[in-house]
Amino acid sequence: MTPHTNDTRNPTQVHAILQGPASSVHATESVEDYLERIHELIESKGYARPIEIAAALNIKQSSVTKMMQRLHDRGYANYEKHRGLTLTAAGVKVALSIRKRHQYVSEFLRMLGIDEKCLQLDTEGIEHHLSPPTMKRLAAFVDYLREHPEVMEDFRNQP
Amino acid sequence: MTPHTNDTRNPTQVHAILQGPASSVHATESVEDYLERIHELIESKGYARPIEIAAALNIKQSSVTKMMQRLHDRGYANYEKHRGLTLTAAGVKVALSIRKRHQYVSEFLRMLGIDEKCLQLDTEGIEHHLSPPTMKRLAAFVDYLREHPEVMEDFRNQP
DNA sequence: ATATAATTTTAGCCGCGGCTAAATTATTGT
DNA sequence: ACAATAATTTAGCCGCGGCTAAAATTATAT
Ligand SMILES: [Mn+2]
Ligand SMILES: [Mn+2]
Ligand SMILES: [Mn+2]
Ligand SMILES: [Mn+2]
């Protein structure tokens, strides 16, 4: 159990100086990545085991176990030792959100003509930094470009 | 993918490598943010004091002092207690690089029509995740859009 | 049923990058 | 010159999220 969550809102990051309206404590990048993978695994195989999560994230199993505890404590997952892990509604919500951001960012970078390997790597980082307004506008723009292929075509045929 | 420490190098080992060129160890997001601000301050006022760096980053002065030590250790700055801080060539290089990424990302988000406050926040996160190839393509695209305003105009006048 | 193998969990370590509180040092006003 | 003030630094704390090594549990094969 979370020991008295004394909060103090200090998850160590200069990068998220959200001028704290305090509402929800945002999921960290790491938590988003875990939930993204876990949700994919559950979807495709029906369960998410530490060994596979670790492989998917390219980290060690023991790190995964630790995070599973954390996901449970933070209300993103239900977890019992040796008994598997499922996502809560909150966890699914984050997973679907990050998936959508991932998809739009990667599609946009693909439109820009960036090498697939590189694109995947950058997407994994960028996806965590799209606020809802930005996501909305980017999605609309990508949709627009998809339906107007002449734009990117003209861009690519530039001098 | 994306372990958040993609470096394979154990932090413990990083210390051993410290002797080597700082360029071999990628600057963290935090380091990039510090260098970005410090370079701006030096440019505009001729020097960068902890109190102002702290204000610019919205963190405490003591955190800045600590990081100043780290920037020195990692070869990004020359620092002597109570005697001020200057950037090394490596530090300036990182600062100019992150500035360029910041400028292009924020210009792109501005073109998308995102609210300025929100745009600045997202830019601060996204800027750290543009690899050189992605940066190159994004820059070209933003330049293209700047010279073809009818594209964004048409996008904005969408149904 | 039990030995072996695979998986999972724990224990304990690390560096990062925040924080507060308490020195220490530098600056300023009289 | 010196006291008050401001800025800087230190000391020590925290949670995060990696890691290794070892223990515990579960699954498999004989
Ligand atoms: Mn990611
Ligand atoms: Mn992703
Ligand atoms: Mn930034
Ligand atoms: Mn920036």
> Any long-range contacts for A146-152 (C-beta under 8 Å, 24+ apart)?
A146/A107, A148/B154, A151/B151, A152/A111
pLDDT in tens, A14-40: 343 333 333 468 999 999 999 999 999
Tokens of A9: 């809102």
DSSP per-residue codes, B115-149: -HHHHHHHHHHHGGG--HHHHHHHHHHHHHHHH-H
Q: What does the pLDDT average to over A116-142?
A: 98
Q: Is the pLDDT of residue A6 over 80?
A: no
Q: Which is more confidently placed, A122 or A158?
A: A122
**In Å, how far is A54's CA from the nearest CA of chain B?**
10
Does B155 lie at the interface with A, CB-CB under 8 angstroms?
yes
Distance separating alpha carbons of residues A123 and A12, to the nearest angstrom: 23
Chain B contact present for A96, CB below 8 A: no
Q: How far is the CA of A109 from the centre of ligand 2 (A)?
A: 13
- At residue A25, the 3 state secondary structure works out as coil
Q: Which of B29, B129, B157 to mutate to test the interface with A (most CBs of A within 10 A)?
A: B129
Ligand nearest, relative to CA of residue A102: 2
Dihedral over alpha carbons B46, B99, B116, B58 (to 10 degrees):
-60
A51 touches strand C (CB under 7 A): yes
pLDDT at B159: 77
Which of chain D's bases lie under 7 Å from a protein CB? Answer: 7-12, 14-22, 25-26
| Residue A126 to residue A130: CA distance in whole angstroms | 7
A57 touches chain B (CB under 8 A): yes
Domains within chain B, CATH numbers bracketed: 11-21+99-154 (1.10.60.10), 29-92 (1.10.10.10)
| Shortest CA to C1' contact from B5: nucleotide | D18
Contact B3 A59 (CB under 8 A): yes
From CA B37, how far away is CA B57, in angstroms rounded? 8
| Residue B157 touches partner A, C-beta closer than 8 Å | no
> How many angstroms separate the Cα of A29 from the Cα of each of A36, A126, B121?
10, 10, 15
Is the C-beta atom of B11 closer than 7 angstroms to strand D?
Answer: yes
| DSSP secondary structure string for all residues of A51-92 | HHHHHHHTS-HHHHHHHHHHHHHTTSEEE-TTS-EEE-HHHH
Which tens digits make up the pLDDT trace of A55-104? 999 999 999 999 999 999 999 999 999 999 999 999 999 999 999 999 99
Q: Which chain B residues contact residue A118 at CB under 8 A?
A: 131, 133-134
**What Rg, from alpha-carbon coordinates, does chain B have?**
18
* CA-based nearest distance A99→chain B, Å: 13
- pLDDT confidence of residue B124: 98
- Residue B26, CB, less than 7 Å from strand C? no
Please give the protein residue whose CA is closest to the C1' of the nucleotide C13: B12
pLDDT per residue as tens, chain B (159 positions): 334 443 444 443 333 333 334 446 799 999 999 999 999 999 999 999 999 999 999 999 999 999 999 999 999 999 999 999 999 999 999 999 999 999 999 999 999 999 999 999 999 999 999 999 999 999 999 999 999 999 999 999 987
Is A10 (CB) below 7 Å from strand C? yes
Phi, psi of B18 (to 5 degrees): -50, -30
For residue A2, the 8-state DSSP code is: -
What is the reported pLDDT for A159? Answer: 76
Using an 8 Å CB-CB cutoff, list chain A residues near B148: 154
Note the pLDDT tens digit of each residue in A89-100.
999 999 999 999
Place of tokens 């543009």: B130
Q: How far is the CA of A99 from the centre of ligand 2 (A)?
A: 6
Q: Does pTM surpass 0.85? A: yes
